[in-house]
């Protein structure tokens, strides 16, 4: 066996910091994004969008626009309805307080009768060029009758609030309640300490490098639509268009996804504009392309978070939590989606007690309509909101009791001996050693050396504070089955097709490393392919599920490939399969020099390949966890917040590629820091006009926001629900960073005589707010 092959696993297999195989083409400008495709005869689609937050559509006159040069077609909501296009579907088993079913206004791809947020698409214009389509959009005359707007879940929930939709009394979509209210009330009555906070998780815009893009083509001979788009879930988009909108068989639509410049949850599921592109391509028999502008994404792409909560905690004299009570009003925007309701009414509650042994809870979560853009999945999706509440409460309680915030957390942590542990929401944690992660986090952050750093800050005229967050998250989307195909080809390559979706997170590299573990061949021979609904259907990539579901499937499929190839090798070498050994790309008869290479064996097969189609399941979600510590300096004269240090220790189970995992944690943390420090989608409270519709108004986090970042991975606590032992990691940093930063600023305020101000601290941490609180 050649020496060059024997070291492949050691150099490129799992556990190694292999450079991402995705990057070479991207860095060379050879990426294939949807907007890079321009088939012959392609037309351009532009949307005319509502300038009002809430209004009746009295009339739409498109005559002048249709007469302009280059205009191919103009579609309105009435046109789509007349053509049989159905509204997008919302159906989840949530109820209203009276026991009636969830209620939500129908979401048409183009507005019908009413518009309910600024930016809702009213008409679609298809022209030969983008400029012609934009000119035609300006020529359309729309008469609106304005209706009252309602902004924010608190206002929507108030008595007498304007209704977003007459079918939802009180603007209430659905409500969920969990726990034992009477037991919680008794616990609060006997508690030695009670803390409570009013907390907002502000609305965020998930700003991806690549905005939303869709390109539709139609083949009259086959009656098939091909839709290229930037998406995390190709199969989900196909099913939604076929089953919900157009009522056509799923084999009449092929969805293709190439490179994706980030998703962050915004690109899960179907966007209404994509449905219009598919319909228009079929109607015209010509290619139709729509590429969202940045402003369109700010106005109409799914926003994240947007909750208002009252959170309270009861503790005994020793600091043990007796009960947790949460009341949350969640903003669904104008049109709830299945995911948006589930995120706030189910997923968030699942992790609300986090890594702590809190058995008594009283939760109420209300999903409300507002005249704003719809909300939906955004990195972390429900878990950051829940963890932020709990971690702010722990720091508030520690200040009130005069305890070290790390010590208070330690007193409430679930012990490793309690695993598997079922929390108050009946979620079972399979593994975890939370106090161990805490200890490593305190050590990495030099927790006990804080006093010296605080004195040094004081000498510079700055106020130093420290914050901590110890937490877990749930991953998986509760879809645990994945299908993978592997083709070992006679040309010397191995192709892996997975129904998850690459979108910048590096999963192709991780899958390839898992294949190297089994096949023992050069990494360059492994080709990982995504994004073709004709080749496989699956849930896609969301909820930090890709590696532990599809990665496990890759490993098992590779094992199965070698097993079946061993039988083929035995036949070729005229011996028993039990006598065949496999190593580093070759099958050998034990004790002899008789051998056949894997790729030579593939070339001898009738199709010139060895092909395996394998579906496997993992047994449950994963529960990654971490300890994040942040230190800040406040500049009293200006209110500026400077992040002076950030340290995190993260339990992601077994680590396939340390460089990728660390990159995910660090990138996620910076995204969470963005929520704490600067990001906020703002609507005018009276008119519903968005005030943050461009980068001039919406501030993103920058790499230089953190002066000193240290991160560590602890791979010694494997997950028990999947054969790889890995835990989802894509959202972990986002969840821990926000409370760590906010707790640090609250601590700085409290240490300098502003404890009451610390309790009033709100996100984002504008200089104006901090300056005012210091005074």
For residue range 195-250, what is the model confidence (pLDDT) as tens digits? 999 999 999 999 999 999 999 999 999 999 999 999 999 999 999 999 999 999 99
- Residue 169 in any domain: the answer is no
- Residue 203 in any domain: the answer is no
State how many domains the chain has. 3
Hunting for tokens 């129908």 — which residue is that? 106
Q: What is the pLDDT, as a whole number, of residue 5? A: 52
| pLDDT of residue 707 exceeding 60 | yes
**H-helix segments, 251-404:** 272-284, 294-300, 338-342, 348-350, 383-401
Percent residues over pLDDT 70 in the chain: 99
Strand, helix or coil for residue 138? helix
**Pairing of β 253-256 and β 224-229:** parallel
**Which tokens belong to 657?**
């590629």
Structural domain ending residue among the three candidates 594, 617, 640: 617
| pLDDT of residue 1 exceeding 90 | no
User: Which residues, at least 6 apart from 131, have a Cβ–Cβ distance to it below 8 Å?
Assistant: none
Hunting for tokens 């070291």 — which residue is that? 7
Pair 117, 693: CB distance under 8 Å: no
DSSP string, 589-616: ETTSS-EEEHHHHHHTSTTSEEEEEEEE
What is the torsion angle, in degrees rounded to the nearest 10, for the CA atoms of residue 699, residue 702, residue 704 and residue 708?
Answer: 110
CATH of the domain at 284: 3.90.1170.50
Pair 508, 618: CB distance under 8 Å: no
Structural domain ending residue among the three candidates 257, 291, 325: 291
Q: Tell whether 540 and 674 lie within a shared domain.
A: no
Whole-model pTM: value is 0.96
Q: What is the pLDDT, as a whole number, of residue 6? A: 52
| pLDDT of residue 262 exceeding 50 | yes
User: Which residues, at least 6 apart from 86, have a Cβ–Cβ distance to it below 8 Å?
Assistant: 244, 245, 246, 247
- Residue 232 in any domain: the answer is yes
CATH of the domain at 655: 3.30.365.10
Cα–Cα dist 304/734, whole Å: 13
Q: Tell whether 581 and 644 lie within a shared domain.
A: no
What HEC string does 429-453 produce? ECCCCHHHHHHHHHHHCCHHHHHHH
DSSP string, 662-696: HHHHHHHHHHHHHHHHT----B-TTT--BS--STT
Pair 618, 549: CB distance under 8 Å: yes
Closest Cα partner for 77 from 101, 105, 103? 105
Q: Tell whether 132 and 221 lie within a shared domain.
A: yes
Q: Tell whether 601 and 686 lie within a shared domain.
A: no
Cα–Cα dist 570/591, whole Å: 14
- Residue 18 in any domain: the answer is yes
Q: What is the pLDDT, as a whole number, of residue 471? A: 98
How many CA atoms within 13 Å lie on the side-chain side of 274?
32
Q: Tell whether 88 and 135 lie within a shared domain.
A: yes
Task: Give the structural domain span for 358.
Answer: 304-475+621-774
Cα–Cα dist 669/737, whole Å: 5
Cα–Cα dist 172/167, whole Å: 10
Structural domain ending residue among the three candidates 291, 325, 340: 291
Q: Tell whether 760 and 713 lie within a shared domain.
A: yes
- Residue 604 in any domain: the answer is yes
- Confidence tier at 771 by pLDDT (50, 70, 90): very high
Cα–Cα dist 637/639, whole Å: 6
Percent residues over pLDDT 90 in the chain: 96
For residue 702, the 8-state DSSP code is -
Cα–Cα dist 119/372, whole Å: 9
686: buried, middle or exposed (CB in 10 Å: 19+, 13-18, 0-12)? exposed
């Amino acid at each position: 066996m050649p020496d060059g092959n024997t070291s492949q696993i050691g150099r490129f297999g799992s556990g190694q910091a292999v450079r991402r195989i995705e990057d070479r083409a991207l860095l060379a400008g050879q990426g294939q994004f949807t907007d890079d495709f321009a088939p012959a005869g392609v037309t351009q689609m532009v949307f005319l969008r509502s300038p009002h937050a809430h209004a009746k559509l009295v009339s739409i006159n498109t005559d002048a626009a249709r007469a302009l040069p280059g205009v191919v077609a103009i579609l309105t909501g009435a046109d789509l309805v007349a053509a049989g296009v159905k509204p997008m579907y919302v159906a989840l088993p949530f109820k209203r307080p009276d026991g009636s079913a969830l209620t939500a206004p129908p979401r048409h791809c183009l507005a019908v009768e009413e518009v309910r947020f600024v930016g809702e698409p009213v008409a679609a214009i298809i022209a030969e060029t983008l400029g012609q389509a934009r000119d035609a959009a300006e020529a359309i005359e729309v008469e609106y009758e304005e209706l009252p707007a309602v902004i924010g879940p608190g206002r929507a929930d108030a008595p007498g609030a304007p209704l977003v939709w007459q079918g939802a009394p009180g603007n209430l979509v659905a409500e969920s309640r969990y726990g034992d209210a009477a037991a919680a009330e008794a616990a609060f009555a006997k508690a030695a300490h009670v803390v409570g906070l009013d907390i907002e998780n502000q609305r965020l815009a998930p700003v991806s490098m690549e905005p939303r893009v869709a390109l539709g083509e139609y083949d009259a001979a086959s009656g098939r639509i091909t839709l290229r788009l930037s998406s995390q879930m190709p199969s989900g988009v196909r099913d939604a268009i076929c089953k919900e909108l157009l009522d056509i068989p799923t084999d009449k639509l092929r969805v293709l996804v190439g490179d994706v410049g980030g998703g962050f949850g915004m690109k899960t599921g179907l966007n209404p504009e994509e449905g219009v592109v598919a319909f228009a391509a079929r109607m015209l028999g010509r290619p139709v392309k729509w590429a969202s502008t940045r402003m369109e994404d700010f106005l109409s792409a799914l926003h994240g978070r947007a909750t208002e909560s009252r959170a309270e905690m009861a503790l005994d004299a020793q600091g043990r939590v007796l009960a947790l009570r949460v009341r949350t009003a969640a903003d669904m925007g104008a049109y709830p989606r299945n995911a948006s309701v589930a995120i706030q009414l189910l997923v968030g509650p699942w992790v609300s007690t986090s890594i702590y042994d809190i058995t008594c809870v009283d939760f109420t979560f209300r999903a409300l309509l507002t005249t704003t853009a719809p909300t939906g999945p955004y990195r972390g999706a429900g878990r950051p909101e829940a963890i932020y509440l709990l971690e702010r409460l722990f720091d508030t309680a520690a200040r009130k009791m005069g305890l070290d915030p790390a010590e208070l957390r330690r007193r409430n942590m679930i012990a490793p001996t309690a695993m598997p542990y079922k929390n108050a929401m009946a979620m079972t944690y399979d593994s975890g050693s939370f106090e161990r992660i805490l200890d490593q986090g305190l050590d990495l952050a030099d927790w006990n050396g804080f006093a010296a750093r605080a004195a040094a800050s004081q000498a510079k005229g700055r106020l130093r504070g420290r914050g901590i967050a110890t937490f877990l998250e749930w991953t998986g989307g509760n879809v645990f089955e994945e299908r993978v195909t592997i083709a070992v080809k006679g040309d010397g390559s191995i192709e892996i097709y997975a129904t998850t979706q690459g979108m910048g997170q590096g999963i192709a590299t991780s899958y390839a490393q898992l294949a190297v573990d089994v096949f023992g061949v050069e990494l360059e021979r492994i080709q990982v392919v995504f994004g073709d609904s004709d080749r496989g259907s699956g849930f896609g990539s969301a909820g930090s599920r890709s590696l532990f579901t599809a990665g496990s499937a890759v490993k098992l499929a590779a094992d199965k490939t070698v097993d079946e190839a061993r039988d083929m090798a035995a036949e070729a070498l005229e011996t028993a399969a039990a006598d065949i050994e496999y190593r580093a790309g070759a099958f050998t008869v034990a004790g002899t020099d008789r051998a056949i290479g894997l790729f030579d064996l593939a070339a001898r097969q009738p199709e010139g390949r060895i092909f395996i189609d394998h579906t496997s399941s993992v047994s449950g979600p994963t529960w990654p966890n971490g300890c994040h510590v942040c230190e800040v300096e406040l500049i009293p004269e200006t209110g500026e917040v400077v992040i002076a240090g950030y340290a995190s220790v993260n339990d992601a189970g077994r680590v396939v590629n340390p460089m990728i995992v660390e990159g995910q944690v660090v990138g996620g943390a910076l995204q969470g820091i963005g929520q704490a420090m600067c990001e906020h989608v703002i609507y005018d409270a009276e008119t519903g006009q968005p005030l943050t519709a461009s980068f001039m108004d919406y501030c993103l986090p920058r790499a230089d926001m953190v002066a000193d970042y240290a991160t560590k991975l602890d791979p010694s606590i494997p997950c028990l629900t999947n054969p790889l032992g890995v835990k989802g990691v894509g959202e972990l940093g986002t969840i821990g960073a926000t409370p760590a930063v906010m707790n640090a600023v609250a601590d700085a305020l409290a240490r300098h005589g502003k404890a009451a101000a610390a309790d009033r601290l709100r996100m984002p941490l504008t200089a104006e707010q901090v300056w005012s609180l210091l005074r």
